[in-house]
Structure 1
Amino acid sequence: MTDFVGGPEDNIFNLTQYDGSSNVDGGDGYDILNLTYPNIYVVRDAWRMVLNEGYARNLTSYYTNDVVFENIELLTITAPIVHSSGYVEIIVNTDRVNALIDGNGGGRITLDYMAESVGRTFTYDHDGLNAYGLVTFKNIAGLQILGGTGDDILSGDPDNAEGGTITIISGAGNDILDTGAYSGWLYGGLGNDILYSRSPFARVDGQWGDDILYGITGSGSLFGGTGNDTYIIDGVYIAVTEYAGEGVDEVRTSLASYLLPANFEKLTGTSASGQALTGNGGDNYIVGNVGIDTIAGGAGNDVIEGGEGNDILSGETGVDSVSYEHAVGAVQVSLQAGIATGGAGNDQLWDFENVIGSAFADVLTGNDGNNVLAGLAGDDILSGGAGIDTASYEQAAAGVQVSLLAGLATGGAGNDTLSGIENIRGSAYADMLTGDHGNNALSGLSGDDLIEGGAGDDILSGGVGIDSVSYEHAVAGVQVSLAAGVATGGAGNDTLSEFENIRGSAYADILTGDNGVNVLSGLAGADQMIGLGGDDEYWVDNQGDVIVEAVGGGYDRVFAKVDYTLADNVESLTLIGRGNIDAYGNDLDNILTGNSGNNRLRGFGGEDYMAGGAGNDIYHVNSWGDQVVEAPGGGTDLIVSSISIDLLALPDVENVTLVNRWNINLNGNALDNVLAGNSGDNVIRGFGGNDVLSGGAGRDSFGFDAAPGAGDLVQITDFSVADDIILLSHDQFGPIGSGSGGWGLLDPDSFVIGNVAADANDRILYDSATGALFYDADGNGAEAAVQFALLTPGLALTSADFNVIL
C-alpha cells in the first residue's frame, strides 16, 4: 500500500498505476486528485481507496462494488472503469467537488446530497455545469442524483453514448426536478415537488405530497402518487396514471381533445382555440377556456364550466351541474330551454340537473326534473319549475335568511327571489331557514342555524354547529324529540337530525332533548321539557312548565321569566326580564340569580349561591354554606335567615330578619340596617349606621361597637327590661363597668335617668320621656352629651341593663 500525504498548502496527486491500495491524505488547502490508471479494476473484497481531507477517513467498496470520493476539491478520472463481474458505482458526496469522470462505457455515477439540510441548485449536463463545482461525465451507464432535506433544484442531461439513464431522487424538501432532454427517472419524495419530463422515455413519479408534473414532449409516463397532484400535459403521447384513493388530481391540457383517464377528478382546458374535453366515469370538474369548447361529462356527477365562448356542454349520465361561477357578467340560464346567455357566451346545454350562477344578478330556471339552483352573489331570480327543487347557499360569504313562505332570501348571497323551490341548503355560517306549507328539506350545513320547517312533513337537518329547530309558528302544540329525531303535532310530522336545541310553540308542548347539551325553550303554553343526559338549559315563560331531569343527567340550568321552583336534579335558576319574580331552589347546591326587579331567592336544601342583581331582593338563608352576593347600588335587600348572619362580610346588604327559635346572632355593617331577631336569645350588633334593631321574643342583647357621636343613631324597637341587655364597647365608651378594669355591668354611679349629667361619673343617661339614650364623655355635662340610641319611652331602666363587655 502506498501512502500519499500532503502539507498545509494546495496539493496535486497524480496516481498513474494501481498497486492494490492507496491512502491519500490531502491535508489542508485545495487538493487535486488525478486518477489515470490504464484501467481501474474494482474487485470484490480486494480493493480499497482512502481519500482524506485533513484526517483519515476509510471509504471502502467491500461487497458493494462502490467507490466513494469525499471531501476532494478536484477529482479527475480518465481511465475506463471496469469490473470483473459487472459494473461499479462511483459516489461523489461533496458539494465542492470538481470532477471529470469517463466511464468508458461502464459504471454508474451517484451524486449524494442526502445529508444536506440547506436547499441546493445543481444542474448536471454534458457541459459540466454545476453551481458548486464542475462535474463532467462521459460514457457512463447511468447518473443518479440524491437530494437532501432542503428545497433542491436538481436536473441532469448527461452526454451518454452508452444509452444510460439519469435518475433523480429528491428528499423531504419542496423540490424542482428535471430529466433534461434524455431518458431518465424522477422521484419526487416527501415534499410538494415540481417535476419536468422532457424526454421521450422519461418516467416521472411524484410519490408523496401535492406535486405538479409537466409532460412537455415525447411519450413519457407520469405518476402523481399520493396527494392532490396537477398534471400539465402538452405532449400528445404522455401517459398519466393515478390510482384510487390517491387524492384529488387534475389534468391541465392544451391538446385539441382529451379524455380524462380513470382516477382523475379535474380536467381543465388551456387552449384558446377550442377543445373537446371528456370526463371519465367518476365525479369530474371540467373547465373550458375562451374558445368554442365541446365538453362532455360522461358518467358520474359532474360539474362543467365552459368558460367564455359559445360552448356545447353536456352532462350526460349522472346528476350534473353547469357552472357560471367565473362569468364576467350576469347569466340567464334555462335548463328547460337548454340554453345559457349573458356573461359567458351563448351556450347549448344538454343533460344537466343543476345550475351554479355567477357573482352578478342572474336568472336561473330549472326544468321538469329535480334541480339545484345556486345563484351565488348578486340579486338573483331562482325558478325551480316542476319537480322537487333546491336553492343552495353553500357558497354564500356570510349567513343567509331564507323563507320559502315569503319567497325571499337575504344575507350573504344577495337579495334573491325564489319560486317553485321546495328545499334549501344553507351556508357555512349562521343561517335562518324557513319552509312553507308544503313538504320541505332544509339543511343548515355549518354554522349555528335556526331552522323552522313550517307546515308539512319536513326533513330538517342542522348540520355542523349548535343548531336549533323551531316550532314557533305551529298551529297547535308539538311533540319534539331530538333523541328519536322526530316531531309531531301542530306543524306536521318532521324528521330531525343534527340539532342541539328546540324552540316550542305558543301551546302546550312536549320537548325532549338527547344525551348531548341541549337548550329547550317551550315559549308560551304549559310545556313539559325533558333534558335526558348532558348539561341542558331550559327557558321557562309559563308557571305551568314542567322540567324532567334524571339523577346524574348533567349540570342543568333554568332561565325563567316567571316565578319558578327548580325541579329535582336541576342545579341553576336565573330570572330574566325586569319583572318582580321569585326563584326557589331544591335540595341540591343551587345557583339562584335574580334579574333587575325585586326578587325573592330561596335555596331550600343544599349550600346555595344567591345573587340578586338590581332591585330590592329577599334572600332566604338556612345553611352555613349559603352565599349571598350583592353589588353596590343593588337595591335595598333583606336576608331572612335561620342561622347567624354577619353583614360585615356583606357590605352591600342592608337588612336581616332571623327566623326559627334558635339562639343565633346577627351583625350589621356600615349601612343603615334593619336587624330583627327571632324568638330565641339573640346578640344583635349594628356596627355603625342609623340602624333599627328588634330583638323579638327571648333574652336578647344589643351591642354598640361604634363610637358615640359619630352621627349614627340606633333604634331599639322592643327593648325588654326584664329580658334584654345593652352591650357597650369598652374601647368606645370607656371603663365604666363596675368590675375590674371598668369591665362588666355598668357602674350604678355612671347611670342617670334624665338627659343632663350632674357630676363626673354620669356617663349613660336615659331620657324616659323620649326614650333617648345618651353618652356623656366627661360625665359632668361640661360638654353636651350625644344621643347614640333610641328606646321605648318610660322604661324602668337601671345600670343592670348595661354591660361593658365588647
Structure 2
Amino acid sequence: MAQPVNDNIENAYVIAGDGFTVSGSNVDSTTQPDEATSNGSVSSVWFVYTASADGTVTFDTKSPEPGNQLDTILNANSSSDGSGSLASLARIVVNDDIDGTTSASEITFDVVAGETYWLRVWGFDLAVGDYWLNQTSGPAGVATSMVGTPDSDVLGVHFDGGYTMIGELGDDTYYVDTASDVITELDGEGFDSVLTEVDYTLADNVERIVAIGSTGLTLTGNALDNNVIGDAGGDTLYGLDGADILKGRGGDDTMVGGAGDDAYYVSEAGDVVTEAADEGYDSVYTTMDYTLGANVERLVALGSTGLTLTGNALDNNVIGDEGGDTLYGLDGDDLLKGRGGDDTMVGGAGDDAYYVDDAGDVVTEAADEGYDSVYTSVDYTLSANVEKIVARGSAGLAITGNDSDNAMIGDVGADTLSGGGGADRLNGGGGDDILIGGAGKDVLTGGAGGDIFAFTGVDDARDTITDFQADVDQIGIDLAGFGLTGFDASMFESNASGIATGADTRFVYSEINGRLFFDADGSGAGKGVLIATLRGAPELTADHITDTSLLV
C-alpha cells in the first residue's frame, strides 16, 4: 500500500462543501518533523475545511462497517497566519472516544464563513487501519457538493436536501438518502456503488446499487453491467441494458432485467422474475423450489438441500446443487445437470442432455420425446428412451446401452462399452477399451489404444469393426457363449473364401472381404455364422483371438 496522499499537512485533502464522508487508510502514513502528538510517533492524515457560512459543525470517525472501527483521535486546528504550517497551528478541540461504547472520535466547534480549519485523524496507541471521516452537521442552510480523491472514496449525505457527489478516480461508494441527490462519475473511473435509503436510479458510469433498510425500494440500473441489490423488504429492481445481476434478498421482490444476459438471485416464493423475448441469455439462481418464468433460459440451485427445479418451453439449462434434486426440463432441448446427490432428471420433449455424476441418478424420458443423451462420470446404464451415452473422465468407465439404437462413446480411459438390443454405434475413444455390441447389427470403433472387440455368442453377430489394428487390437470371444471349452490355433483358419476346410476349425476369416465367421462343425455340413466384418480386411490370425469370458 502506498503512502497516503494526505499524509503531510502540506498535502491535506481539501474538503469541498459540507455533508461529506471520506474513507482511507493510515497504514503507511508517517509522522512529520515537528508534528505535535501526545501519543508517541503516530500515523496521521490531514484534511482542510473552509466554512461556507457561520455556524457550528460536527465531525466524527464512525465506520459504517460493523467490526471495522479504527480506534482514532480527531482534532481541529486553526492557523495563526493562514498558512497551514505545523508551526502556525492552534488546537481548537480534540477527542479520543465519543463514549464508552465506541472507539470512534467526535468533535463539534464553531466556524466563521470563509475561515479555514485543519482536521487531523490518527490512531490511538499507534493503531492503523481503515478510517472514516464524516461531517454529521454543518452550517445551517448550506447546499452541499462533495468531491472525492483519486483514491477509493466513501461519499455520503447526512443533511436534508439534495446533494451533488463527485467520486473521481477509484472505486467509490455513495450513500444516498434523498431522491434528488446527484452522483457524477466519468467513464473509466473505477467500480462505483450507491447505497440508498430511497428509490433511486443509477447515474451514468456507476455500476452497483444497494438498498439499505427493510422497507422495500424501487432501484433502477443504467446501460452498464449493473449489480442491483434489494433489502429485506419487497423491492422492485430494474436492470435496464447490460448484463445485470439482480438480487432481491428478503421479501417478495419483482426483478426486471431488461436487455442483456441477466442473472437473478431468488430467495422467496413470492419473488417474480420478468424477461421479455430476445433480451439475452438469462439465469436464475435459487435457494428454493422454483419454476422458470417465460424468456429465461437457465436455472441453478444454490445450497445442498436438494430442490425441485422446473424449466419452461425454451432450451433450458437446469442445474442442481449438492443435494438430491428433482429437475424438469419440459419442452425444448434442455441440459439437466444434477451435480451432487441422487438426482431425478426428467427432460420432457426435445433433444435433452443429462449430466450424471452419481450412480443413484435417475434419468426419465418418455417415448418419442426427441434424441436424448447422457454424459456420465460414473458407471452407468441407459434408461429407456435415451439414445446416447458418453463417458467423461480418464478413470475408465463401464457404460451400458438399452434396446434403442444407441450411440456409445468412451473417453481417454480404458472403458467397457456394452450395447443393448438395438443397432448400436460404439466408439471407445482413447485408452485400451472393450467394446461389446450386443444384439443387433452394431458398428464398433475402437479408437486409440489396444482395444478388444468382444462377442458373447452368435446372437451378437453381424457387427462391423471399422478400425481393427492388427498390431494392438484383439477379437474377444466368450468361449462358453459359443459352446466352446477352449481355443487353440488349430481352431482358426484364414483364407480367401471364408469357408472352413478343417474339421476342427471354428473361426474362419476371409482375407478378401474381412468377414469373420463362426462354424460350429468346421468342414461339416453346417454353415458358418457371420460374426463381424473387419473394414479394410486387415490381417487376422489365431493370435488375435482371446477368451473374454472373464472380462465381460
TM-score by length of 1: 0.37
Please, which of 320, 327, 333 is the counterpart of residue 560 of structure 1?
320
Match of 1:589 in 2: 351
Q: State the SS of the aligned residue for 1:786.
A: helix
Aligned to 1:77: none
**1:547 aligns with one of 289, 307, 310:** 310
| Structure 2 residue 498 is the aligned partner of structure 1 residue 743 | yes
Q: How do 1:228-627 residues align onto structure 2 when only pairs under 5 Å count?
A: 355-359=145-149, 369-377=160-168, 390=181, 392=183, 394-395=185-186, 397-403=189-195, 425=202, 428=205, 430-431=207-208, 433-438=210-215, 440-456=217-233, 458=235, 460-472=237-249, 474=250, 479-482=252-255, 500-505=262-267, 508=269, 511-516=272-277, 517=279, 519-525=282-288, 527-532=289-294, 534=295, 536-541=297-302, 543-547=306-310, 549=312, 553-561=313-321, 563-575=325-337, 583-593=345-355, 605-608=368-371, 610=373, 612=375, 615-616=377-378, 618=380, 620=382
Using a 3 Å threshold, how does the CA distance of structure 1 residues 654 and 422 change in structure 2: closer, same or farther? same
Q: Which has the higher contact order (CA 8 A, sep 6+)?
A: 2
- What is the aligned counterpart of 1:654 among 407, 415, 419? 415
Read off the aligned partner of 1:398 and give its amino acid letter: G
8 A Cα contact 1:529 1:547, kept in partner? yes
Residues 548 and 378 (structure 1 numbering): CA distance in 2 closer, same or farther, change over 3 Å?
closer
Shift in alpha-carbon separation, 1:750–1:466, aligned structure 2, 3 A: same
Whether the 8 Å CA contact 1:422–1:441 is kept in 2: the answer is: yes
Q: Tell me if the contact between 1:402 and 1:433 (Cα under 8 Å) persists in the aligned partners.
A: yes
Please name the residue that 2:461 is paired with: 701
Whole-Å separation in 2 of the counterparts to 1:546 and 1:694: 43
Q: Is the 8 A contact 2:309 2:326 kept in 1?
A: no
Task: Please give the secondary structure, in 2, of the residue aligned with 1:445.
Answer: coil
| In structure 1, C-alpha distance between the alignment counterparts of 2:155 and 2:460, rounded to whole Å | 87
Task: State the alpha-carbon separation in 2 of the partners of residues 665 and 421 from structure 1.
Answer: 64
Distance 1:787-1:440 versus aligned 2 partners, 3 A rule: closer
* C-alpha contact 1:568 1:586 (8 A) present in aligned 2: yes
Provide the aligned length of Structure 1 versus Structure 2: 379
Contact residue 519 and residue 536 of structure 1 kept, 8 A: yes
Q: Does 1:786 align with 2:540?
A: no
- CA distance in 1 between counterparts of 2:504 and 2:155 reads 103
Is residue 657–residue 676 contact of structure 1 (8 Å, CA) maintained in 2? yes
1:94-122 deviation line (CA, Å, top 9, x unaligned)? xxxxxxxxxxxxxxxxxxxxxxxxxxxxx
User: Closer, same or farther in 2 for the Cα pair 1:364/1:750, shift >3 Å?
Assistant: closer
Q: Give the C-alpha shift of residue 504 in structure 1.
A: 0.9
Larger-gyration structure (1/2):
1
Query: Hey, what's the Cα distance between the residues in 1 that align with 2:456 and 2:381?
Result: 20
SS at match of 2:300: strand
- Show CA shifts across 1:337-362 (max 9, x none): 9968779xxxx999775524254689
Q: Distance in 1 between matches of 2:405 and 2:157?
A: 77
CA shift, 1:462, in A, is: 2.5
Instruction: Identify unmatched segments of 5+ residues in structure 2.
Output: 1-49, 54-110, 118-137, 508-517, 521-540
- Report the CA distance shift for 1:392/1:424 in structure 2 as closer, same or farther (over 3 A): farther
The Cα of 1:648 is off from its aligned counterpart by: 8.7
For residues 608 and 450 of structure 1, do their structure 2 counterparts lie closer, same or farther at Cα, with a shift above 3 Å needed? farther
Counterpart secondary structure, 1:699: helix
Report the Cα distance in structure 1 between the residues aligned to 2:142 and 2:519, rounded to whole angstroms: 105
Q: Which amino acid in structure 1 is aligned with residue 371 of structure 2?
A: D
Percentage of pairs with the same residue: 10
In the alignment, is the contact (CA less than 8 A) between 2:155 and 2:167 conserved in 1? no
Equivalent-residue separation in structure 1 for 2:445 and 2:235 (angstroms): 66
Q: Report the residue type matching 1:655 in the other structure.
A: T
Tell me if structure 2 keeps the 8 A contact 1:509–1:522.
Answer: no
Contact 1:393–1:426 under 8 Å retained in 2: yes
Matches within 5 A, 1:651-690: 654-659=415-420, 664=423, 669=428, 671-676=431-436, 689=450
Q: In the alignment, is the contact (CA less than 8 A) between 1:643 and 1:658 conserved in 2?
A: no
* Deviations 1:343-392, CA, capped at 9 Å, x for gaps: 9xxxx99977552425468997757533234141379897878x667473
Structure 1 position 503, deviation (Å): 1.0
Paired residue secondary structure (2:242): coil
**1:510 to 1:423, Cα distance in 2 relative to 1, 3 A:** closer
Q: Which amino acid aligns with 1:369?
A: D
Change (3 A) 1:733 1:435: farther
**Counterpart Cα distance in 2 of 1:363 and 1:792:** 75
SS of 2:503's equivalent? helix
- Partners of 2:420 and 2:336 lie apart in 1 by 26
Gapped runs of 5+ residues in structure 1?
1-308, 313-336, 405-419, 486-495, 736-740, 754-763, 767-783, 794-806
- Map 1:135-150 to 2 at 5 A: none
CA contact (8 A) 2:454 2:475 kept: no
Q: Does 2:403 align with 1:642?
A: yes
Distance 1:513 1:583 in 2: 26
Whether contact under 8 Å (1:390, 1:423) holds in the other structure is no
CA distance, structure 2, for counterparts of residue 619 and residue 702 of structure 1:
23
Please tell me the root mean square deviation across aligned C-alpha atoms, in Å: 5.8
| 8 A contact 1:453–1:460 mirrored in 2 | yes
1:7-22 map, 5 Å: none
Query: How far 1:600 moved relative to its partner?
Result: 7.2
Displacement of 1:454 in angstroms is: 0.9
Quick one: which amino acid aligns to residue 545 of structure 2?
A: F
CA displacement 1:657-714 (0-9 Å, x = unmatched) = 3345x5x456565754444566x56668686845374648x83328796577857462
Could you tell me which amino acid in structure 1 is paired with residue 320 of structure 2?
A
One-letter identity of the residue aligned with 1:503: Y
Q: Give, as a single letter, the amino acid of the residue that structure 2 aligns with 1:469.
A: L
Q: Give the direction of change, closer, same or farther, for the CA distance of 1:438–1:355 in structure 2 (3 Å limit).
A: farther
Change beyond 3 A, Cα 1:657–1:430: farther
